[in-house]
Structure 1
């Protein structure tokens, strides 16, 4: 993993929440929140909460007495998330590393993570932390993107940037968000962390944007791809337009849509 892969700073949190969240994250956030709500938890820990898309979905589905603790390694992401839900007393916002959770043992009925496991340098350690803070009979639910070839927008963005920077192509999307997609590997990591009841299932959805440019801007300006583009001396706007042109050729010039796929993981 590159040192820039976990940098969600500057204007990235705002662009991420405004553009990336509706583009690819919302359907999976609703799915995770629905799965959690069926478990009837009294306390939920969310790790890698980002700008709070799952937090908002949980708050909409869980009863008023349920405590929600939302954490993320990146304080700027949490700061942005808090602005969206500052008046909800059920939610505690706390900066935390998923690999070293600052909570006592057996504190939560459920631990949930939306597309964060791919960023953990020590996944077995992070899973072990989730298991440690769960009460007996608790549940750990998370999702991870499938292979980049099964996610059409991410694949096209990566291909286009490879053509734009042929000697040093930006590979953030393939390397990290789509770099942890083998179900056998995920299951083995969970078993190593002490989980034995593990289910993994693919879940398809559709990514849609009003135009190729808006889809390209979400990826190029609202993710750590931005740092990769700027590190290569490229103009961020020119790179965005180059990607938008490539996406327009593949998906059309009006409203665009593409297939996305993730793996939904539940461990108990």
Structure 2
């Protein structure tokens, strides 16, 4: 992962929430919320909350007396998440680094993280921190995207941009969001962090959009791909987005489109 891969700033948070969340994140947020709520936790820590899609899904399922601390490394994303959340005295918003959590040992019953582990520079350190703040019997629930070939729209956009920029293809999606899909490696990282075991559930969903334009806008404008495109051709974002949309239309049609998405959901117990 490059340092720039963590910079979700400017208009990216709004576009991320507007396009990316309904396209690929919403079904996994519902799944995450159900898994966490099933443990009936009294104290929950969310890491890498992004624009708050899991927060919005999980908060209604927690008990009235629960404590819910929502964190992200990126303050603009966290600010946007807070702006989308209804007033809730149970929720505390904190800017925090997953590799150095500002919380006491054994402070939470559950730690959850949706599609954030791929961005951690040191995953073992982050997992060790998650374990440290969990109480005995607590659970660490997180998910990561499977390989890019199993996430069709992301693969379509990546291949389209490689045709526009053949000498220096924008590889953010393959490099980072889809760069941590080896389940054996994930298990080893968890073991190195002190977790004794974990379950891995590979979960396929369908990504749907009303037109090819929407997935193209989601990936080209709502992720760090925007930064990569603009660095290669200033002023070229519109043309690159249109080209990606045309590539999706060529493969999936010009009306409503649908394609496979797939992720691994991991549950590790203390």
TM-score (ref. length: structure 2): 0.98
Q: Is the 8 A contact 1:115 1:142 kept in 2?
A: yes
Q: CA deviation at 1:197?
A: 2.1
Mean Cα deviation higher: 71-80 or 229-238: 229-238
Determine the structure 1 residue equivalent to 2:124. 124
- Residues 149-190 of structure 1, C-alpha deviations (whole Å, 9 max, x = no match): 001001101000000100000000000000000000000000
What are the residue-to-residue correspondences of 1:1-268 with 2, within 5 Å?
Answer: 1-234=1-234, 235-268=236-269
Q: Tell me by how many angstroms 1:3 deviates.
A: 2.2
Distance in 2, matches of 1:96 and 1:8, equals 15
The separation in 2 between residues aligned to 1:107 and 1:169, in whole angstroms, is 44
C-alpha distance in 1, partners of 2:249/2:268? 40
Gaps of 5+ in 2: none
Whole-angstrom distance in 2 between the partners of 1:92 and 1:58: 14
CA distance in 1, matches of 2:90, 2:184: 36
* Distance across 1 between alignment mates of 2:214 and 2:24: 13
Asked if the contact 1:217/1:240 (under 8 Å) is kept, the reply is yes
* Structure 1 stretches lacking a partner, 5+ long: none
**Alpha-carbon separation, structure 2, partners of 1:141 and 1:82:** 22
Task: Check conservation: 1:4, 1:228, Cα contact below 8 A.
Answer: no
**8 Å contact from structure 1 (residues 146, 263) kept in 2:** yes
- Aligned-CA RMSD value: 0.7
Note if contact 1:19-1:218 (Cα within 8 Å) is conserved in structure 2: yes
Q: Distance in 2 between matches of 1:206 and 1:196?
A: 33
Q: CA deviation at 1:86?
A: 4.7
Question: What TM-score does the superposition give when structure 1 sets the normalisation length?
Answer: 0.99
Deviations along 1:121-150, whole A, 9 cap, x unmatched? Answer: 100000000000001110000000000000
Pairs aligned (count): 268
